[in-house]
């Protein structure tokens, strides 16, 4: 058993590699990052459909957990909770949860950290998600 990592679940990633192989898992990670990028872009552009954003956050949270991206799953869970809150206060959400802008910034930071952790522990597994994620949804 590997040491507990707060960013990724190394055991899960190792198991996925054994079942799927590097190429397929790399493709899934790329697609996952593209979906999270789309969610962030929708929220940052003040997209009006909070039901769609909540569904995207929920689906992405489940995918993050399945892919062993534990810290990213936690960030997506917090974002989902904020989206679920009825408008309260100046920032439109329960102050104890923080603002949606803070949650989106945390999500972006966690994406970068997850990518770096995967690259460090599983070199070559993840292509540069910033450079390739935009086109992954169109494939």
Q: Encode pLDDT of 47-97 as tens digits.
A: 677 888 889 999 999 999 999 999 999 999 999 988 887 654 444 444 555
* Token pair belonging to 34: 């593209």
3-state helix, strand, coil in the chain (%, to 5): 70, 0, 30
* Token pair belonging to 59: 């689906």
Residue 97 is predicted with a pLDDT of: 53
Average pLDDT, the chain: 83
Ranking 22-26, 29-33, 82-86, 128-132 by mean pLDDT, the lowest is 128-132
* Token pair belonging to 139: 């494939």
pLDDT band, residue 137 (cuts 50/70/90): very low
Q: What are the residues whose beta carbons fall under 8 Å from the beta carbon of 39, sequence distance 6 or more?
A: 53, 56, 57, 60, 107
Distance from C-alpha of 8 to C-alpha of 15, rounded to nearest angstrom: 13
Phi and psi at residue 127, in whole multiples of 5°?
-70, 165
Ranking 17-26, 82-91, 108-117 by mean pLDDT, the lowest is 82-91
Residue 16 has pLDDT above 60, yes or no: yes
């Amino acid at each position: 058993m590997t040491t507990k990592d707060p960013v990724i679940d190394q055991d899960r990633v190792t198991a996925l590699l054994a079942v799927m192989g590097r190429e397929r898992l790399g493709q899934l990670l790329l697609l996952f990052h593209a979906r999270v990028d789309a969610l962030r872009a929708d929220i940052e552009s003040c997209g009006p459909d909070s039901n769609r954003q909540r569904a995207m956050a929920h689906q992405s949270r489940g995918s993050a957990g399945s892919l062993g991206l534990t810290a990213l799953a936690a960030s997506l869970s917090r974002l989902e909770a904020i989206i679920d809150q009825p408008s309260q206060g100046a920032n439109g959400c329960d102050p104890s949860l923080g603002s949606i802008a803070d949650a989106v910034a945390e999500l972006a930071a966690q994406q970068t950290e997850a990518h770096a952790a995967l690259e460090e522990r599983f070199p070559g597994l993840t292509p540069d998600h910033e450079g390739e994620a935009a086109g992954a949804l169109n494939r």
